[in-house]
Amino acid sequence: MAVIRNPKIADYFSLVKINHTIFSLPFALIGFFLAVKTGHHDLSIRVLVLVLLCVLFARNAAMGFNRYADREFDKKNPRTALREIPSDIISPKSALWFVIINAILFIITSYLLNFLCFLLSPVALLVVLGYSLTKRFTYLSHLFLGMGLALAPIGAYLAITARFDMLPLIYSFIVIFWVAGFDILYALQDIEFDRKEKLNSLPARLGRVNALLLSSSFHLFALILVAAGGIIGNFHLLYWIGAALFAGLLCYEHIIVKPTDISRVNLAFATMNGMASVIFACFVIADLFLQ
C-alpha cells in the first residue's frame, strides 16, 4: 500500500486545475460589471472580492468532488492515472475535507453578499457538485457542467442587485452552450474508456463525427445568444469586436479538432477557450464603461 505524503497547497491547486478558473471567472466579471453599470450601483471593491471568492470556493468544491467521485475511474484510465488521488499525492479523505471546507466557505461568503445569495447557495452547490455524478446516468452531463459554470454571471449579478434580470440570464445561457460544446471536444479523448466503463458521454454515444457536429451546434447557439445579448443590452462597437473575436476563436478550435485527428484537443479545450472568455469579457466590460 502506497504511503501518502502530506500534500502541499500546490497539490490541491493541481487537483482542481486552478488555472481552469479562467473559464468561469471572466463571465462572473461580466455579470458583476453589468449589474454595476445597468443597475446604477456604486462599484464596491468589497463585493467584487466576495464575488471572486465565491467563484473560487464553488469551483474548488466542484472540482475537488469531481476528482473524489471519479477516483476509481481515474485510476483505470491511463490518461488520468497520474492525477493526485490515483497517484496517492492526496488521499480521498483529504480531498473530501477540501470539498467540505470550500463548500462551507462558499456559503459563508454568499451570506456576506446578501440574503438572496445565501438562500440560493445550497442550490448552487447542488448543481456544481451534482455534475460529477451525471455521467453515470445521462448523456447530458456536458450540459450539466455548463449549468454549473453558468451560475457565475447570474450569481455575480445577484450579488449586486439581489434580483433576476433578462440580460445576465442570457450570458448564463451563453456559458451553458459554450461550455457544453468544448466539454464534448474534451470528452473525445475518452470515447473507448467511457464505452468500456459504461460511462455516459455524447462522444461515446454518437461517435466522433456526430459529436463534433453537436459541439459545433452548441457553439453556434452560444454565438446567437452573444448577438442577442448585444442587441438587448444595446451595446456598441467594442462589444461587437469582442463578439467577433470570441466567434473566431470558437471557429478555430473546430478547425483544429477533426474526426480523424484529435491531437490538438487540449489546445482547443484549454488555450482557445481560455483566451476566448478573457478577450470577450474585456471587450464587454470596456463597452459598458466607455460607450
Tens of pLDDT, residues 222-243: 999 999 999 999 999 999 999 9
Find the largest Cα–Cα distance for the chain.
62
Q: Is the pLDDT of residue 187 over 80?
A: yes
Q: List, as own/partner pairs, every contact residues 253-256 make where C-beta atoms lie below 8 angstroms and the sequence separation is at least 24, other chains included.
A: 253/182, 253/185, 254/212, 254/215, 254/216, 254/219
Model's pTM, two decimal places?
0.95
Please tell me the distance from the alpha carbon of residue 194 to that of residue 175, in angstroms, as a whole number.
25
Please tell me the predicted confidence (pLDDT) of residue 90: 96
pLDDT tens digit sequence for 145-175: 999 999 999 999 999 999 999 999 999 999 9
Please tell me the predicted confidence (pLDDT) of residue 5: 60
Buried b (16+ CB within 10 A) or exposed e, 220-246: bbbbebbeebbeebebeebbeebbebb
> How confident is the prediction for the chain on average, in pLDDT?
95
Class of domain 9-286: mainly alpha
Q: Count CB neighbours of 122 within 10 A.
A: 13
Please tell me the distance from the alpha carbon of residue 133 to that of residue 239, in angstroms, as a whole number.
37
Question: Which residue, chain included where needed, has cell 470558437?
Answer: 250
Mean pLDDT, rounded, for 48-54: 97
Q: Is the pLDDT of residue 185 over 60?
A: yes
pLDDT tens digit sequence for 77-123: 999 999 999 999 999 999 999 999 999 999 999 999 999 999 999 99
Please tell me the predicted confidence (pLDDT) of residue 40: 77
238 and 287 Cβ atoms separated by less than 8 Å: yes
27 and 175 Cβ atoms separated by less than 8 Å: yes
Give domain limits for the chain: 9-286
Write down the H helix ranges in 188-260: 191-196, 202-206, 208-232, 237-256
The band of 67, judged by pLDDT with boundaries at 50, 70 and 90, is very high
Please tell me the distance from the alpha carbon of residue 228 to that of residue 243, in angstroms, as a whole number.
11
pLDDT tens digit sequence for 5-47: 678 899 999 999 988 888 899 999 999 999 999 877 889 999 9
Please tell me the distance from the alpha carbon of residue 54 to that of residue 156, in angstroms, as a whole number.
9
Percent of the chain clearing pLDDT 70 (strictly above): 98
Please tell me the predicted confidence (pLDDT) of residue 4: 56
